[in-house]
Amino acid sequence: MEFIDPAIDAYSRAFSNPESDLLKRLSRETHAQILQPRMLSGHLQGRFLALLSSLLQPKLIVEIGTYTGYSALCLAEGLVADGKLITIDINEELESFTRSFFNQSPLTAQIDYRIADAQDEIPKIHDTIDLVFIDADKRKYGLYFDLIVDKVRKGGLIIVDNVLWSGKVVDESAKDKSTQALRDFNQKCMDDPRVENLLLPLRDGLYILRKID
């Protein structure tokens, strides 16, 4: 996942808005207590998500893949006063840890944290969605996209994480199912006339999809 020189990364963080104290604690505790802490969005990506959300001023955000809640807290910063973020994760073992940090946030009343399978939960969402963040099972990215794209308003955003997969998407020797699923997903989005596309090499790759139809 490390595409950028550490010194450049540190410089970029130094000249970006800092994390809140809550996000710093969440990052520290995730690294200390939880397996695979690299799954955390982290400082730069978190500030980028917060900025996009603040620009969009969403009334409804849907996040597929909560992990320990860092990205959800960042995205929620941009919600309008009566807005809501629905975040869905299938891993019930992280629920108490994650919910404890949501409960410390002044935005906790606007966060609807659901332990469920996203492919079953997405069809239950009937309101128009302004912003989607997908960071879950890579082999189901195409399914999640198909389930949610028509629920997103024109001009809304779908942001998808890990689309460079530690650079494996351009490594011809990488034949594993997750890598191939991401290659297929990236091509699927590129070919879809309902969205315009920007793939950013930020952290592990963020695909920014803007709904145009």
Task: Give per-residue pLDDT as tens, 79-127.
Answer: 999 999 999 999 999 999 999 999 999 999 999 999 999 999 999 999 9
> From its phi and psi, is residue 166 left (phi > 0), alpha (psi between -120 and 50) or beta?
left
Q: Are 44 and 9 in contact (CB under 8 A)?
A: yes
Evaluate whether the domain defined by 6-211 bears CATH number 3.40.50.150. yes
Domain locations along the chain: 6-211
The yes-or-no verdict on residue 4 having pLDDT over 70 is yes
The predicted structure's pLDDT at residue 86: 98
How far is it, in rounded angstroms, from Cα 72 to Cα 61? Answer: 9
The predicted structure's pLDDT at residue 39: 84
How far is it, in rounded angstroms, from Cα 60 to Cα 64? Answer: 13
Helix/strand/coil for 157: strand
- pTM (predicted TM-score): 0.94
The dihedral through the CA atoms of 155, 200, 59, 191 has a sign that is: positive
Residue 181 banded pLDDT, cuts 50, 70, 90: very high
The yes-or-no verdict on residue 1 having pLDDT over 70 is no
Tell me the percentage of the chain whose pLDDT exceeds 70: 99
Residue 13 banded pLDDT, cuts 50, 70, 90: very high
The predicted structure's pLDDT at residue 2: 66
Average pLDDT over the chain reads 95
Residue partners of 155: CB distance under 8 A and separation at least 6: 210, 211, 212
